[in-house]
Structure 1
């Protein structure tokens, strides 16, 4: 497997399940770097669903904002899974942080990792142009973030309806 992998796809496309399998194939224990926070009951259910799939072979780190620090601190022998970049991006944007500079720092951090890292992100640019400014800004930022991470990662995968397609080979 490549040293770094970006996995993208639409909502409920199967990208997280595919990513978990890729990471566990690299060795156990594995590190799950979670970016989501449960601000409401629906998000709490989504987080619980992801947690229910993971067994004792996973160690979880929560990094809703400082993803670079979590990657640096966990860089060792264990493979890592970051799920997901678009939630991380929304956290940064809603906190009015400079997402562009943090995205560039993330790209540099991923490129410098010794242990494998798999990143999950949503493809949000395939639909219509959103009607409000915040949604348009988010869609554009996600597209730019995904392009930057795809450029720095060794492999890029697109998951469609549960089927992974390799887009960028190692």
Structure 2
């Protein structure tokens, strides 16, 4: 491990849908600091997503502070990161989706996030799906998103000091 990763307090948690990755990330946060902040990236584009967002709000106890930031993730991390807090970003997959939907240059934003991670001295837990283990998407857009997402996960994993994969609620340390 190089010196940059020794100082890095950013932890990437990967897993499939409903794998337990967010619950694991929240448990890590509970152990890391008394002041816990969630940076939620979901936008309520439809009724089903509105219901999911509301369900997530109900599942968190009142000790969590919530910031909703669907696009400007690095700015939110810079604004809210302090030595006393742990920040949990839920999730990078939805964030990337938002960038694509809003026609924002995703590769540049991913590079910006990776540079922030490498410099960060704050406790941050990033949650992301692992999309590449399932069937190949049927459409060119789906395959393009899967490929961009896989590269994003690789770049962020490389920048982070710790990486954990969660399957069936069980964490597996990768880095």
- TM range, normalised to the smaller chain? over 0.9
Cα RMSD (Å): 1.1
Which residue of the partner structure matches residue 52 of structure 1?
A: 58
Map 1:118-133; keep pairs closer than 5 Å. 118-133=125-140
* 2:85 counterpart SS class: coil
Q: Which runs of 5+ in 1 are unaligned?
A: none
Deviates most, 115-124 or 42-51: 42-51
Q: Which residue of 2 aligns with 1:39?
A: 45
TM-score normalised to structure 2 length = 0.92
Q: Which segments of structure 1 move beyond 3 Å, counting only runs of 4 or more? A: none
Asked if structure 2 preserves the Cα contact closer than 8 Å seen for 1:75 and 1:114, the reply is no
Counterparts of 2:102 and 2:120 in 1: how far apart (Å)?
Answer: 27
Could you give the per-residue CA deviations for residues 26-76 of structure 1, whole angstroms, max 9, x where no partner exists? 111211001001111211122122211212211111110000000000111
Shift of 1:114: 2.4
Tell me the equivalent position of 1:114: 121
Do structure 1's residue 24 and structure 2's residue 41 form an aligned pair? no
- Whether the aligned pair in 2 keeps the contact of 1:72 and 1:113 (CA below 8 Å) is no
Write the mapping of 1:1-16 to structure 2, written as runs, cut at 5 A. Answer: 3-16=9-22
Q: Say if 1:89 and 1:99, in contact at 8 Å, map to a contact too.
A: yes
Deviation digits for residues 103-135 of structure 1 (CA, Å, limit 9, x no counterpart)? 000011122222200000000011222121110
Match of 1:63 in 2: 69
1:94 to 80, 84, 101: 101
Say which SS state the counterpart of residue 174 (structure 2) adopts: strand
Deviates more, 1:18-27 or 1:124-133: 124-133
What residue in structure 1 maps to residue 5 of structure 2?
Answer: none
Aligned residue in 1 for 2:147: 140
Contact 1:68–1:106 (CA under 8 A) maintained in structure 2: yes
- Provide the TM-score with structure 1 as the length reference: 0.95
User: How many pairs were matched up?
Assistant: 167
